[in-house]
Amino acid sequence: MTMDRHEPFEELISASLAGDLTPTERDRLDTHLDSCSQCRTTLAAFADQRRIMSGLRHVGPPRDLGARVRTGIERGRFATVPWWRRPAVMFAGVGGSLAAVAGALLAIVLLNGTPSDPEVGQATPEPSATITQPSQTPRPSLPPISTQAPDASPSETAAPPSLAPSPSAEPTAVPEPDVVMAVTGPVEDLAYAVVVDGTIEEEVVPIEETTGDDVDEPMSPSGPPITAELSPDGQWLAFITEIGQRGVNDVWATRIAGAPEPTDPDASPPPDSSIEVGDTVHLGESVAGSPFLERMTWSSDGRYLAYTLADPETDEADADAWMFEPSEGEPRRLTDVGNAYAASWVPGSAGTSLLWLSMAGEEPMSYLVGFHDDASRVDEPFNPADDAIAEAEGVFQPLLSPNGSLAIFWRGRMSAELDRGWIFVEDGAPYLAEHPMDGEPEASFEDERKLFSDLPTAGPLFSSAAITWGLDGDAYAVWDASWTGDGTDDENPYPDATRVYFGHATDSRGLTRQHAIDREDIDPEMAVVDVEVAPTGGHLLVTARERQGGSRDAPRAEVRLVTRNVGDVADEVEIVDIGEDGWVGPAVFRNDTVPEWDPALAP
Amino acid sequence: MAVPGPIPWDLPSVTRQSADGHEIEFARLFEEYSAPIHNYVLRMVGDPDRAADITQDTFIKAYRKLDTVTEATSTRSWLYRIATNTAIDDMRRRRMVTPMGEDAPAFANQPDHRPGPEAQVMAATLDERVQRALLHLRPNHRQCLLLSDLDDMSAQQIGEVMGLSYAAVRTLLCRARGEMRRALSAEGFAR
């Protein structure tokens, strides 16, 4: 494309109208105008335009503007923000529900505080004693695969587990789980609340500003949040928001707390961030709609956040891993290969942080790469295959359990789709394996078995699903299953995209259709957006949204606390209800109760 | 062209007797800038109700952030920046929940039911036609043009508001004028 020869002079003409020309530019323009009728016409048109614009009628503000501003200042209310900045609505209408949820959580913690007792809803006939308190053996290992042949036919119904709900146990001094709610009004205007002991710990905190001040950066969270991850040190809340119906997401991180006091005098905490509490950093924009993309992972010390962005502007669904390092204050691209996905960090690797990265492809690969915490920052994106200290053939996006000893990952043949990035097209299925932590990084995954034990092993199976671990390192949940295989039917689909499958690694039967939470747990007109497994591993916080179906209504979502029961006992469900037009969720737990992985205790 | 007079800011009774510097400074800002900010926002979004809401939010944010203004900061540019960002947020939000085409004001892009384009153009006031042309511009072009020609800001000041360099503002302004020229032409303005 060549530049119009008049173009440089048009810019000078435009600038001349406001007297923004240097003497040299003025002379140059005058000389040109003497010989160019086209530019003289442009000058006349621009001058007319400026005259017209400056002559526009000035319309005064409404007479009550001052009173409205005063009211807004005193009540903390914005005109374009609907419900949550109205204190009366928030604390009267919502506070009670939140209190109910947190109260229930507390009760649940007490019930499950004794490790030797099976948890409510844990569909495990023989709960493993390896899931214990941190001071005991923190590493779960996989039980022998059940000798009872799983039902390989998805269309048939397996016998239900015979477990009854566990009896109550004596309360123990387990730290109480807190809940951080990412909430929004009818459209956007994010905020979060910290719930402690059934009450909102502090005022609902708006998330509306970026990088220090909204007057510095025009971007702000633009849609409902669909997933969130709290950094292990509790300082940062990373979250992903939708951008309307465009099929694009935004990734953000908000600093919600200052650096905690070090509890271990010998530990070297990550350097503090220059980002102030309350500030939000925009981490990028990505193609939406894939669970493989819509996930983030914090390193165990909160030093790094890894995530994946698939460029929505390209025609090839280019995906690359990115990293946000709070101490640096801004995101950086990790890879430059176009098919790299962030998977998860290996916890507890002092001095060097280890990250699993996956490269999607017909035959996917995963690579373990290290980042020296004390090394100077390297800005250049790299190819994981060139810098790997370990690799795993055929493995995609291994999700390590919080203590690092187990992993759920994918195998199968993948293909790239423009609107979703890479998905599985054949043999796609999640697997569960042990992830040895014995200092031999080349030993990646051992004793693997299918996660869904009653589904076929090959053919057109899953294309994708969302998976999360509970903080206990045993419980996990699978939802948003996208299935391309046979064996599903309209009456009783399995796997069911609308349901959540809740399992435990120590359950020798793996995951089966019996592990789906009750159909009644989530209203049929709602869709699951996000799932968080309670730290104790016995309960789920499910964020479910109303299906819009072309409605012009603002999106709405609620958080449901599901206490899983088995057999004929229906699940218990409590709803965080904020009214008709709001969005609540996703919810995350503070990591107070995470059993920390101690490599010295490894067998 | 007559410009509306300042809107008075009533210091609250609780602070009237001991009005601190923050309150007094905010009162000055409000009285001086509420009218031009509202007018600017109105031209940005083309809807009086939305303009009032955005102006309201702009001053609430300004009140909360007033302590962050330093001597090196142009208060006027700072206020316009808040207003601009608040308006952008509002437009993004509406784009998200409103089916395509319904974000524009009632007089833009509506099919049928009305007189033909020529009759429409002739029937509208000059002000309406210019506003209609403005709403056809990209938001950043609209902002730039309004700040320059409506609020008489220099390229330097526009850069402070929009977070752009001096050179970038000059380029953007030129493109905005070109786009506005075509939009005005479609509204029946000569040249």
Tell me how long chain B is: 191
Query: Nearest CA of chain B to the CA of A226: how many Å?
Result: 16
Q: Which of residues 77-96 of B touch A (CB under 8 A)?
A: 78, 81-82, 84-86, 88-90, 92-93, 95-96
A340 touches A357 (CB < 8 A) = yes
Across the range B21-34, mean pLDDT stands at: 87
Nearest-by-Cβ selection for A15 from B82, B93, B155: B155
**Touching A: B residues 100-119, CB under 8 Å:** none
A121: left (phi over 0), alpha (psi -120 to 50) or beta: left
- Smallest CA-to-CA distance from A371 within A405, A393, A346, A337 is with A346
Q: Measure B138 CA to nearest chain A CA, in Å.
A: 15
Point out the least confidently predicted range of A307-316, B36-45, B139-148.
A307-316
Chain B within 8 Å of A80 (Cβ-Cβ)? yes
Helix pair angle (A23-35, A37-54), 10° resolution: 120
Q: What is the mean pLDDT of chain A?
A: 72
Check residue A452 and report its DSSP letter: B
B119: distance to nearest CA of chain A, Å? 21
Q: How confident is the model at residue B72 (pLDDT cuts 50, 70, 90)?
A: low
* B15 vs A109, higher pLDDT: B15
pLDDT band at A245 (very low <50, low <70, confident <90, very high): low
Please report residues of A whose CB lies closer than 8 A to that of B130: 52-53, 56
Q: What is the pTM of this model?
A: 0.59
- Which residues of chain B are within 8 Å of residue A77 when distances are taken between CB atoms? 60
With cut-offs at 50, 70 and 90, classify the pLDDT of residue B8. low
Say if the Cβ atoms of A55 and B52 lie within 8 Å.
no
pLDDT score for A191: 74
Q: How much is the pLDDT for A298?
A: 93
Interface of A with B in 128-187 (CB under 8 A): 186-187
A211 interfacial to chain B (CB closer than 8 Å): no
Q: How far is CA A266 from CA A269, A600, B25, in A?
A: 9, 16, 50
> Which of A157-161, A507-511, A512-516 shows the lowest mean pLDDT across its residues?
A157-161
Q: What is the model's pLDDT at position A96? A: 36
- d(Cα A13, Cα A39) in Å, to the nearest integer? 8
Which of A9, A46, A58 should we substitute to test contact with B (largest number of B Cβ atoms within 10 Å)? A58
Q: Mean of the pLDDT values across residues A431-438?
A: 83
> Chain A within 8 Å of B44 (Cβ-Cβ)?
no
**Weakest mean pLDDT among A31-35, A498-502, B9-13:** B9-13
Reported confidence tier of residue A142, pLDDT bands at 50, 70, 90 = low
Nearest CB to A57; choose among B1, B10, B181: B1
Question: Which chain A residues are within 8 Å of B57, Cβ to Cβ?
Answer: 72, 78-81
- pLDDT score at A485: 65
Residue B86: what pLDDT? Answer: 83
pLDDT of residue A599: 41
pLDDT of residue A158: 35
Residue B52 has its nearest CB partner, among A65, A77, A186, at: A65
Shortest distance between the Cα of A58 and any Cα of chain B, in A, equals 6
pLDDT at residue A41 is higher than 80: yes
For residues A142 and A561, the model is more confident at A561
Mean pLDDT along residues A219-223: 53
Chain A closest-CA separation from residue B93 CA (Å):
7
pLDDT digit string (tens) for A560-602?
888 887 777 888 887 765 444 567 788 888 765 444 434 443 3
How much of chain A, in percent, has pLDDT values that exceed 70? 65
Mean pLDDT of A470-492: 80
Judged by CB atoms closer than 8 Å, whether chains meet at B4 and A61 is answered as yes
- The shortest CB-CB distance from B65 to any of A19, A188, A213 is to A213
Statement: residue A183 has pLDDT above 60? no
Question: How high is the pLDDT of residue B23?
Answer: 82
A53 and B35 within 8 Å at the Cβ level: the answer is: no
Query: A156 or A238: whose pLDDT is higher?
Result: A238
Q: Indicate whether A85 pLDDT > 60.
A: no
**Which pLDDT does position A321 carry in this prediction?**
96
* Out of B68, B149, B181, closest to residue A45 by CB: B181
Distance between start and end Cα atoms, chain B: 24
DSSP A135: T
Is A377 within 8 Å of A327 (Cβ atoms)? Answer: no
Most confidently predicted of A115-119, A243-247, A472-476, A574-578: A472-476
Cβ pair A365, A409 in contact under 8 A: no
CA separation for the pair A540, A528 (Å, rounded): 12
Least CB–CB distance from A62: residue in B52, B57, B146: B52
Q: What mean pLDDT do residues A221-229 have?
A: 78
Residue A280 has pLDDT above 80, yes or no: yes
H helices of chain B, in order, are: 13-16, 21-45, 48-65, 75-97, 117-123, 126-135, 139-145, 155-162, 166-186
C-alpha A177 chain-centroid distance = 19
Nearest by CB: A68 against B12, B56, B148: B56
Query: What is the arithmetic mean of pLDDT over A441-461?
Result: 82
Is the separation of the CB atoms in A248 and A285 below 8 Å?
A: yes
Say if the Cβ atoms of A222 and B92 lie within 8 Å. yes
B56, B93, B170: residue with CB nearest A14: B170
User: By the CB < 8 Å criterion, does B177 face chain A?
Assistant: yes
Name the residue of chain B whose CA is nearest to A15's CA: B170
Across A277-297, average pLDDT = 89
Helix (H, G, I), strand (E, B) or coil at A324: strand
Confidence of residue A407 (pLDDT cuts 50, 70, 90): very high
pLDDT at A342: 97
In total, the C-beta contacts within 8 angstroms joining chain A to chain B are: 180
- Closest residue of chain A to B166, computed from CA coordinates: A20
Three-class secondary structure assignment of A34-95: HHCHHHHHHHHHHHHHHHHHHCCCCCCCCCCHHHHHHHHHHHCCCCCCCCCCCHHHHHHHHH
Task: Express each pLDDT in B154-184 by its tens digit.
Answer: 998 898 888 788 888 898 899 999 999 999 9
pLDDT at A508: 84
Looking at residue A581, its pLDDT comes to: 53
pLDDT at A90: 30
**pLDDT greater at residue A209 or residue A96:** A209
Please answer yes or no on whether B9 and A10 come within 8 Å at the CB atom: no
Residue A289's pLDDT is: 83
At A335 the pLDDT is: 93
| Contact flag B178-A10 (C-beta cutoff 8 Å) | yes
The answer to whether residue B182 neighbours chain A at the CB level (below 8 Å) is no
> Chain A partners of B98 at a C-beta cutoff of 8 Å?
552
Q: Which residue do the tokens 């299935």 mark? A: A483
pLDDT value for A57: 85
Min Cα separation B171/chain A (Å)? 6
User: How far is C-alpha A576 from the geometric centre of its chain's CA atoms?
Assistant: 20
Cβ pair A61:B52 closer than 8 A: yes
Strand pairing report for A205-207 and A199-200: unpaired
Predicted local confidence at residue A109, as pLDDT: 20
Q: What's the 3-state SS for A327-353?
A: CCCEEEECECCCEEEEEEEECCCCCEE
User: Would you call B68 and A48 a contact, using CB atoms and an 8 Å cutoff?
Assistant: no
Eight-state DSSP code of residue B124: S
